[in-house]
A and B are shown apart, each in its own frame.
Chain A
Amino acid sequence: MKLKIKPHTRKSFLTYALVIAAFTATQIYISSGSASNMFQGLLVPFCVYSIAAASLNLTVGILGELSLGQAGFMCIGAYSSAIFSVVTKDTITNVWIRFPIALLIGGIFAAIFGVLIGIPVLRLRGDYLAIVTLAFGEIIKNVFAALYVGYDSKGLHFSMTSQGDLGLEPDGTMLIKGALGISGTPKDSTFVIGFVLLLLTLIILYNFIYSRTGRAVMSIRDNRIAAESVGLNITKYKLITFGLTAFLAGISGALFSHNLSILQASKFDYNLSILILVFVVLGGIGSIRGSVIAAIVLTYLPEALRKTGSSLTNYRMLIYSVILIVMMIFTSNAKIRGFFSAQFMKLKRLVIKDKTPAVKEAE
């Protein structure tokens, strides 16, 4: 008997294909010269928010725990990678060596914090993770906003009060200037790198979800007691998942920081965490592809509405909120979803005359 385990593989490859197609279309659009500056400036943020949303969906949709601290992990990733790049930009001049290391540093530091938070919190049941991550995000933002770091021939100097308190030698350089943040980060992020990272993120996420570990995680989400009864170590699987989410969030933060000349901690506030959660919810909880689409559409929309210059500009927040509500109805209402998938099937049957889908064995 031939098993149809294929839907998983089909789902993931369709997503990769969509992302690659969108990338190609965008590149053609840019090379045609008709792309606006606004649009070009949004390309890296598209990737940043897509990665952040897709990885948050791993915790919210696959693990079934609510996390409100995605911005906190992005902040750690952004700062740690930016510090690395500022310090090494004169010694490692090759971007292709420096930037991947910076990205990894951002991811690893965020993952360390993710695991540290996860160890006590993920043992508990209920909404503790939401509460703790919410607090964590705010603490991280405020700590970085008050942090002064500089380095000179004697090494690194830290202070939480002021720049003068650091006691830098005359040859010293400031790294973090409190609320003014980090400046001078090399602008290493490009759309191509962002696209590659997004694709890698998707591959990591799909491969993780459709593996032994991912299955265990989903079983914990579906029924914790039953998962324990078949001998699954709940805390371990939760930690792995939450750590991976933090790692990818850190990478998206690193991508974000290398797209800005000045990085300020105030960017990583509560609103950013909620915004990313909105992408996840509206894209469909548990749907990685949906998160990416929602992140791109909802990042583009406010900017596009701002630009139109017509009378619409005044109503842009109104239009934005209406679209949010409509998306929510469409993605959460089973009847409406069923209606559209039925229409889609009809269309498919018209296009493909052959009713038996060619299913190949791959796994």
Chain B
Amino acid sequence: MALLEVKKLGISFGGLRAVDEFSMTINKGDLYGLIGPNGAGKTTIFNLLTGVYKPTDGSITLDGVNLTGKSTIEINKAGIARTFQNIRLFSNLSVLENVKVGLTNHYKYSALTGVLRLPKYFRMEKEMNERALELLKPFDLQDDATTLASNLPYGKQRKLEIARALATQPKLLLLDEPAAGMNPKETAGLMETILTVREQFGVTVLLIEHDMSLVSGICEKLSVLNFGQLLCEGKTSEVLSNPEVIKAYLGE
């Protein structure tokens, strides 16, 4: 069953056609990869999917709901969460608080309840703490719960971003170069984590990645983007042996 359907998506920045006629279908439970050379428009597609940019043409549908032109906030509430290529954590908050911010829209109590410290405040905060710790566990971050996010080592910061995105209970998780800057050992660990997360939280994953070991290791399907246009899509093994893809991206 199709979870995300993108049809003929396009965006222009002035005279530049950054993404053109891009279509993609992701089924529930898929681990989908989006690859392509630098500047091909991969992150632009993420920004279109999350409402950072409004598409000039085309449509985006998630689980039957039309999300075209919706705001980032509405899209997140509809079930798309993302991480960023250049890490964007809440650096002055602790690891636990970062995840709790992600839980904000799911554990609601009013500002007044918080100020008056009504029983509901303690109950909700307790639930949030438990849930946040649960979310940190697959990433092996639970022991760093009270550490400031900015004091975490790089690899853990990337993982924390994923945990925070998962806290918003997404149907579709977008990971923008999750393995960037990681060594092979860390990348292998990350691959494990992504698979566990998909299993445990039942999310569908779409990721952008340049590390081919990760792409060929865990992605089931791929779309290849070149100059803003879809070059090729299909099963990972087929796509990676496609001569056009090899020519445009992988190199002969």
A223 x B89 contact (CB < 8 A): yes
Rounded to whole Å, the gap between the CB of B118 and the closest CB of chain A is: 10
Contact A222–B90 (Cβ < 8 Å): yes
Q: Are B93 and A231 in contact, CB atoms less than 8 angstroms apart? A: no
The answer to whether B167 and A230 have CB atoms under 8 Å apart is yes
What is the minimal beta-carbon distance from B214 to any residue of chain A, in angstroms?
22
Is B249's CB within 8 Å of the partner chain A?
A: no
Report the minimum CB–CB distance from B136 to chain A (whole Å). Answer: 11
Q: Specify which of B88, B121, B128 is in contact with A226 (CB 8 Å cutoff).
A: B88
Docked Cα-Cα span, A214 to B88, in Å, equals: 19
Cα distance, A20 to B97, chains bound together (Å) = 30
Question: Given A1-B142, A3-B129, A212-B114, are A226 and B89 also a contact pair (CB < 8 Å)?
Answer: yes
Chain B residues, CB < 8 A from A207: 114-117
- How far is A229 from B81 in the complex, measured between Cα atoms in Å? 7
Q: Which of A1, A214, A223, A231 contacts B90 (CB 8 A)?
A: A223
What sequence of 0s and 1s flags, for each residue 223-256 of chain A, a beta carbon within 8 Å of any chain B beta carbon?
1011111111100000010000000000000000
Contact digits for A194-219, partner B, Cβ 8 Å, 1 yes 0 no: 00000000001001100111111011
One digit per residue, 1 when the CB lies within 8 angstroms of any chain A CB and 0 when it does not, for chain B 87-125 equals: 011111100111011101101111101111100011011
Chief secondary structure at chain B's binding surface: helix
Interface residues of A (CB under 8 A from B): 1, 3-5, 7, 204, 207-208, 211-216, 218-219, 221-223, 225-233, 240, 363
Interface segment out of the listed B14-22, B71-79, B181-189, B196-204:
B71-79
CB neighbours of A211 from chain B (8 A): 109, 111, 113-115, 121
Contact A363 B77 (CB under 8 A): no
Decide yes or no: A240 and B146 within 8 Å by CB, A231-B104, A363-B125 being known contacts: no
In contact, A208 and B77 (Cβ under 8 angstroms): no
CB-CB nearest in chain B for A4: B146
- A233 CB contacts on chain B under 8 angstroms: 73
Chain A residues near B81 (CB-CB < 8 A): 229-230
Contacting residues, chain A, for B114 (C-beta < 8 A) = 207-208, 211-214
Residues on A with C-beta less than 8 A from B226 are none
The answer to whether residues A232 and B101 also contact, given A207-B115, A207-B117 and a CB cut-off of 8 A, is: yes
Q: Among the interface residues B81, B92, B164, which one has the most CB atoms of the partner chain A within 10 A? A: B92
